[in-house]
Chains A and B, each alone.
Chain A
Amino acid sequence: MGQLLINGLGTGLIVALPSIALSLSFGILKFPNFAIGAMLTTAAYIAWSLNIHAGLPLLAAGALCIILFPMVALLCDAAVFRPLRSRGPVTLLVASMGLSFVLDNVCRLIFGNDARNFDIALSRPYRVWGLRINYELLVSAGVSIGAMILVFLILKHTSIGRAMRAVADNPNLAAARGIDAKRVIAATWILAGVLIAASGVLIGMDRAIDPQLGWNYIIVCFAAAILGGLGNPAGAVFGALLLGVVGELATLVVATNYRSGVGFLVIALVLLSRPNGLFGTREIVK
């Protein structure tokens, strides 16, 4: 039971990062980015080739990936989303699905279908009060928590962070006040890119890297973001942790294969009972 709780929190922390990215970009760009999974895959492969082909230690490869990947995100925005910006959320979300196909299969084309692993030494898990705690779990928890603190400091205490929140809050007023939307959008993709890159690397450490990597996380990321109220990054963290734990505990009752189904079930229940997320106030009801 305690072990499940720890595993669940570990998974939750990793999922929290892309969920924040999803929630943040939904709040500011006003469309759900279905390419989030493919972006995770892409980031993991970038780190993997830096690690294996360029021979960098994983820490350096991961750090470089965190710097490089936001540029990929900006490029995707310039090529796909910017030309469609005025067309409304439905067009953008369909386009994000198209982008997801492109990214996933560029990875498949270059790296093939085989599962890849980072060059890391296996380490014995620590034992605390009879609970197994992996070294990877500690690293990913540290990185996740660090990244989250960074994001919330940026959102709360920098001028670009405030501008981002202002655009998410009331885009018309932000425009009337003269807030530079282009700058805010770029900042959003950079921040989302950093979060996605970091979690792509962590997921790659947690399991093997293959072209399906990100696809397995789309639903749980959306579930976490919706649970926390789409557009509310702090809520997304809570949603991710809750889902991580629920997902692990659910293995006590249902087959492990259905773990990703639990996410869907949670979305359905939340949408039926609390359409704004557990503590959302945003008006999403038609």
Chain B
Amino acid sequence: MIAYLTTIMTLVSIAVLIAFALNVQWGMCGMVNFGLAGFVALGAYTTALISLNGGGFFVSVFAAIIVCAVMGAIVSLISMRLSEDYLAVVTLGFGEIIRLVTLNEGWLTGGALGLPGIPRPMIDVIGTDHYEVFFLGICVVIVGIVFAGLEIATRGPFGRSLRAVRDDDLVASSLGKNVLLLRVKAFAVGGGITGIAGSLQAFQFSYIDPSQFTAIMTAYAFMAVIAGGQGSHRGLILGACSVMFLLEATRFLKDVVDVLDNSQIAAIRLILIGAGLILLLIFRPQGLLREYRLKAPKSSPSSADSTAT
């Protein structure tokens, strides 16, 4: 039971990191990222390849952060001049490309079989008996560092400009180019955080394959951000934990209803994720979900009117 809880907590930590990333991009800046799982995969494969070739823990995590941050900047640049709708499509496509590459470039990624035998940091020092607890400790410390970093950043100039953008469209547009730069920065920061999450994922399982990085991972993050409240890091940790525990609980459905097979249980979990996402959007909007959009004022003065309902 302790072992199970430790594993769950580790996975929650990783989920919290992914949710942090989405929170910077979507919660604070209004930019939807449907390719989160792709970014996490990119981080995980970067870490795996480097540590399998002799790179240490810090080197491989750092490399994952850099690769994902740069990729985040590039992806957001593609749609920098466009509205969020297009960014959503571009990120979805990006995730798909990453999936295709991990699946098809066997020489690099091991294809569908993935990469096994990723050395877990300091395992020869700690030993296998208490390693899971130790690793959970690493994850919690990293979550703490990222949390503190984000809290400080959102209170500093970066956060101030994000807030300026989010609270007042006019200010946003008068900032002009800075708004665009801000979007790229926010996307890069989010990308870097997914890189960390990917690293931890690789070390946690010590093998990775493409099936670990599916749209479910992305959906978890969206649920956590919506449940925890866009923009609030503390609420988000709570959101991620409750989402994860609720969904883990569905694993026990199998013991209760034995007519269902594994794939049906999996389907039910995914239905719950989807329905939960929709219900949260509908029923918990205030405070939990404010929509921050980076939009220049429209050219039509009458656009203040409500559009078609």
Chain A positions near chain B (C-beta within 8 angstroms): 26, 28, 30-32, 34, 79-80, 83-91, 93-95, 97-106, 108-109, 112-113, 167, 171-172, 174-175, 181-182, 184-185, 218-219, 222-223, 226, 230, 255, 257-258, 260-261, 263-264, 267-268, 271-272, 275, 283-286
Q: How far is the CA of A194 from the CA of B96 in the complex (A)?
A: 28
Known pairs A219-B93, A267-B93; A87 contacts B263 (CB<8 A):
no
B78 contacts A101, C-beta separation under 8 Å: no
B92 contacts A219, C-beta separation under 8 Å: yes
Contact residues in B for A181 (Cβ distance below 8 Å): 308-309
Known pairs A95-B277, A184-B308, A226-B89; A268 contacts B271 (CB<8 A):
no
Pick from B30, B96, B277, B308: contact of A97, CB under 8 Å? B277
| Cβ proximity bits B82-118 to A, threshold 8 Å, 1 near / 0 not | 1111101110111011001001100000000000000
Known A79-B278, A275-B82; further 15 A-B contacts with Cβ < 8 A? A86-B306, A87-B281, A90-B84, A97-B34, A98-B278, A101-B271, A105-B268, A108-B267, A112-B263, A218-B92, A261-B100, A264-B94, A267-B93, A268-B90, A271-B90
Q: Does B159 lie at the interface of the complex (its beta carbon under 8 Å from any beta carbon of A)? A: no
Known pairs A87-B285, A98-B281; A109 contacts B271 (CB<8 A):
yes
Pick from B271, B273, B276, B309: contact of A86, CB under 8 Å? B309
Q: How far is the CA of A91 from the CA of B88 in the complex (A)?
A: 12
Contact residues in A for B285 (Cβ distance below 8 Å): 87, 91
Chain A min CB distance to B176 (Å): 11
Q: Does B296 lie at the interface of the complex (its beta carbon under 8 Å from any beta carbon of A)? A: yes
Contact residues in B for A84 (Cβ distance below 8 Å): 281-282
Chain B residue nearest to A266 (CB atoms) is B93
Contact residues in A for B104 (Cβ distance below 8 Å): 255, 257-258
| Cβ proximity bits B33-61 to A, threshold 8 Å, 1 near / 0 not | 01000000000000000000000000000
B78 contacts A91, C-beta separation under 8 Å: no
Known pairs A34-B88, A88-B291, A219-B93; A268 contacts B308 (CB<8 A):
no
Chain A min CB distance to B137 (Å): 33
B85 contacts A89, C-beta separation under 8 Å: yes
Complex A-B: 27 CB contacts under 8 Å: A30-B308, A31-B85, A32-B89, A86-B309, A89-B85, A90-B26, A91-B285, A91-B291, A94-B32, A94-B277, A97-B274, A98-B219, A98-B273, A100-B274, A102-B278, A109-B271, A171-B308, A175-B305, A185-B308, A219-B89, A219-B92, A223-B93, A226-B86, A226-B89, A261-B97, A264-B96, A286-B82
Known pairs A226-B86, A255-B104, A286-B294; A30 contacts B307 (CB<8 A):
yes
Pick from B26, B83, B94: contact of A286, CB under 8 Å? B83
A97 contacts B219, C-beta separation under 8 Å: yes
Chain B positions near chain A (C-beta within 8 angstroms): 26, 30, 32, 34, 78-79, 81-86, 88-90, 92-94, 96-97, 100, 103-104, 215, 219, 222, 226, 263-264, 266-268, 270-271, 273-278, 281-282, 285, 289, 291, 293-296, 299-300, 302-303, 305-309
A109 contacts B267, C-beta separation under 8 Å: yes
Pick from B26, B90, B266, B276: contact of A267, CB under 8 Å? B90
Contact residues in B for A222 (Cβ distance below 8 Å): 89, 92-93
Known pairs A102-B274, A167-B308; A97 contacts B86 (CB<8 A):
no
Chain A residue nearest to B302 (CB atoms) is A172
Contact residues in B for A219 (Cβ distance below 8 Å): 89, 92-93, 96
B89 contacts A267, C-beta separation under 8 Å: yes
Contact residues in B for A85 (Cβ distance below 8 Å): 309
Chain A min CB distance to B87 (Å): 10
Pick from A28, A101, A283: contact of B219, CB under 8 Å? A101
Q: How far is the CA of A16 from the CA of B48 in the complex (A)?
A: 41
Chain A min CB distance to B213 (Å): 15
Contact residues in A for B273 (Cβ distance below 8 Å): 98, 101
Contact residues in B for A99 (Cβ distance below 8 Å): 274, 278
Pick from B78, B93, B308: contact of A174, CB under 8 Å? B308
Chain A residue nearest to B180 (CB atoms) is A286
B302 contacts A264, C-beta separation under 8 Å: no
Chain B min CB distance to A45 (Å): 13
